[in-house]
Structure 1
């Protein structure tokens, strides 16, 4: 009996102790949670300020950055309202969507700051990647590496350890041996992964172009990610649910249908001196078996030099020649060759067929540059890593896929489409039930869906121009 009473008493005391401990833990945890939320808010602000600091530096932004990264809590709290206002203006000026309208409705600092963050599915991954790159910039010596030879599998070279170190911290090398000077299979695979992320030829060889990318400082990479994130996010903020987008320096096409990628394709774009323009328009017509009316500029630059070498080029490539009255002109190969050396008063139209420069399909959209999407007979060019090879128009590798998708989803006269499939020499235009928005854009860096930072060559030297515009306050 005594033992049972004592047992009950001890149980009551033990229960009381547990309750007291739980109450004390709650009292301690609640302020800790508040502190953690405040620190999370400061960190979010710091990440956003880093974007501004990278692409639009100023004395004020530098002060804000130092306050958030080095200052005590009281200093951070004193500057929060001002920093929030500056960030709201910054994102808004560039057309970056946020939930800033909800900022003042919350008394919670953490919720206020979250409402300022850009509404974009890749913002956090991009921000984290930028933070990591800036950390690398402070931690590592990223001096220029130079080599008078191309490095490849099986070579031994003193640069291999430093190159391997950089590939490791950038996420491309699986295993790193600081004393290994042999360009072994591990290093070769790391180089290929690096080349894949930079749109380079996947040969595993470190030549001048690959070495140039390896030499790019982490802060420059962070800057490119920030600039292109702003460019891309602002651009996509107002697009329709269904659209076609071509990233010029990436040589890639994507068809987006209600937020999902319906089709992808490699493309060929304009050469640096015949650039594919950045524009937005709407595809209004699809053409089967197009003829090619040769623009005067291309006639002078490209075709006449070939006719000067071979007068039979016009007939061999199935060109009709018309005079100013629209009448067909016929001459011998020698006569065409002689005319090509002087004033050439005719226009050329290549008839439809298997050898036609535009191939099987053409996608027409109105624009002042006279560019369009089309097929090509030079399929082997899609294997090139640098596909800036055309005179401004865009050539599509998966042209059959795009044409069939449009036939299923947009073409009005589907029966005629079916009837035209065996035909190779008759041109047929198809109108669409509704036009398809098309965007030709220029983005040289982004974080992909797997969290990998992708970079591409600035083939038209556009990035410095965009940064300069931002520095002067233009979106």
Structure 2
């Protein structure tokens, strides 16, 4: 289409524009992509041949034509990968729910303009995801590649745990490992075998950054994290840069990110984290889905309508065993017209799913499975953020406990932040909850909610943290990312 629009005439008649484009393609490496996907090797060979012929006072126009076509194809493909990613997320997850970023129908015409102006590299820069975290990925990837070129770091013998105050021959190696990645905060005696307070502080930060319990004890999990090779870290960064490219950039000014792999929810304004909280997510057999919707309302004192699957697999058996079960758990029964019927009217002795024609609903209150507040962003998965009475699970580092919804550790604080600027003060929220009356509050601004799966992502709002691949998804992304590219725009054009 590009050459058809220009009557099949060559596009790259400026050597400066060509070199600008070639340099831009070489920089695809900083995006975690492979320059060879964009004909880097072939282009280098042809450039060498053209320059050699020019030095001899000759020019092979077949090579010039081949070069023109190759670099055009490379630039357009690289642009597409920056816009929508190299790997097709729908091929990995049939339930993928993010819209692809729009590719302008004027792309071929725009490329002509950029070539004429010699600003192809600048135009490609503008296609990178605009969220600051993407640049953080680029910077850290560059740092780790330098570390890799310098030999990486040595594996540290695991052995027994090391506690603060202990003396251990492995301490110098641990200090060296932290120093290499910039995790050693102060100048210290690198050869000391004493596990001192400064090192304890750095170890706790390292543990936090690697999704470990920050107890300062250098045990099995901490040794495993210390011994992850720099090459593995580089792969994880490349995987998550690709995941970032999958996500459309047209976000509201304020948005919520739930990072499933990090067990964290973040509220951001202008791409800056202003609030974060721990969350519990879906078990590995009830995975929390990845999607994006808009927050519609916040409901205080929600009731909970029990899914039929839970009635079938759990509640109906408990009702037969204990006729008082519903009352003890604050459940009520509703008939087909929505009328509440007495729990005592059920024939518990002959109860079965075939003759159970009721809706089971849990009353509002602190006992409710949804806690005292839920955050609704309508979606086909019936997934939402909510409070939970199961607070003890937040003490766990790996928090895969739900059936897919996101249980939130500090939901009332989140509600107050989201309702900022309205008449919903903290006091009004408290009074509403005490009333146990189901009440909805509506935000006065657009707030997107994004459920994401990033195994490298925001870490306490400062830098990049690494998180366990709890849903075992990284390997498939990396395999596709390392393949020679075959993915093209959906309509075959760009």
Q: TM-score, normalised by structure 1?
A: 0.72
Q: Describe the shift of the 1:230–1:304 C-alpha distance in structure 2 as closer, same or farther (beyond 3 A).
A: same
- Structure of larger gyration radius: 1
Give how far 1:201 is off.
0.9
Q: Is the 8 A contact 2:300 2:373 kept in 1?
A: yes
- Which residue of structure 2 aligns with residue 292 of structure 1? 304
Q: Describe the shift of the 1:211–1:61 C-alpha distance in structure 2 as closer, same or farther (beyond 3 A).
A: farther
Output aligned runs, 1:162-177, within 5 Å: 162-174=173-185, 175=187, 177=189
Q: 116, 130, 155: which is aligned to 2:124?
A: 116
RMSD: 4.5
Instruction: Determine the C-alpha separation between the residues in 1 that align with 2:299 and 2:28.
Output: 47
Output aligned runs, 1:59-78, within 5 Å: 63=41
- Which residue of structure 2 aligns with residue 48 of structure 1? 28
Q: Is the 8 A contact 2:134 2:244 kept in 1?
A: no
Give how far 1:439 is off.
1.5
Task: Tell me the alpha carbon deviations over residues 50-104 of structure 1, each in whole angstroms, 9 at most, x when there is no partner.
Answer: 4354xx585876738999xxx9xx79xx989956852542242352699985642
Q: Describe the shift of the 1:145–1:469 C-alpha distance in structure 2 as closer, same or farther (beyond 3 A).
A: same
Give how far 1:291 is off.
0.7
Q: Secondary structure at the match of 1:389?
A: strand
Task: Tell me the alpha carbon deviations over residues 235-268 of structure 1, each in whole angstroms, 9 at most, x when there is no partner.
Answer: 1512233333222112222333454545433222
Q: Is the 8 A contact 2:235 2:478 kept in 1?
A: no
- Which residue of structure 1 aligns with residue 117 of structure 2? 106
- Which residue of structure 1 aligns with residue 78 of structure 2? 90
Comparing 193-202 and 430-439, the one that deviates more: 430-439
Give how far 1:292 is off.
0.8
Instruction: Determine the C-alpha separation between the residues in 2 that align with 1:458 and 1:310.
Output: 41
Q: Is the 8 A contact 1:352 1:424 kept in 2?
A: no
- Which residue of structure 2 aligns with residue 26 of structure 1? none
Instruction: Determine the C-alpha separation between the residues in 1 that align with 2:310 and 2:212.
Output: 29
Q: 244, 261, 271: which is aligned to 2:256?
A: 244
Q: Describe the shift of the 1:44–1:146 C-alpha distance in structure 2 as closer, same or farther (beyond 3 A).
A: farther
- Which residue of structure 2 aligns with residue 473 of structure 1? 487
Is 2:164 aligned against 1:153?
yes
- Which residue of structure 2 aligns with residue 381 of structure 1? 393
Q: Secondary structure at the match of 2:267?
A: strand
Q: Secondary structure at the match of 1:249?
A: helix
Is 2:189 aligned against 1:211?
no
Instruction: Determine the C-alpha separation between the residues in 1 that align with 2:171 and 2:235.
Output: 27
Instruction: Determine the C-alpha separation between the residues in 1 that align with 2:211 and 2:225.
Output: 11
Give how far 1:440 is off.
0.9
Q: Is the 8 A contact 1:281 1:365 kept in 2?
A: yes
Comparing 397-406 and 426-435, the one that deviates more: 426-435
Q: Secondary structure at the match of 1:95?
A: helix
Q: Is the 8 A contact 1:49 1:87 kept in 2?
A: no
Task: Tell me the alpha carbon deviations over residues 391-410 of structure 1, each in whole angstroms, 9 at most, x when there is no partner.
Answer: 21112233223333444557
- Which residue of structure 2 aligns with residue 439 of structure 1? 450
- Which residue of structure 2 aligns with residue 6 of structure 1? none
Q: Is the 8 A contact 1:241 1:258 kept in 2?
A: yes
Give how far 1:351 is off.
0.5
Q: TM-score, normalised by structure 2?
A: 0.70
Comparing 192-201 and 38-47, the one that deviates more: 38-47
Instruction: Determine the C-alpha separation between the residues in 1 that align with 2:215 and 2:239.
Output: 30
Comparing 259-268 and 279-288, the one that deviates more: 259-268
Instruction: Determine the C-alpha separation between the residues in 1 that align with 2:153 and 2:429.
Output: 59
Instruction: Determine the C-alpha separation between the residues in 2 that align with 1:331 and 1:39.
Output: 82
Q: Is the 8 A contact 1:285 1:429 kept in 2?
A: yes
Give how far 1:145 is off.
4.3
Q: Secondary structure at the match of 2:80?
A: helix
Give how far 1:210 is off.
2.2
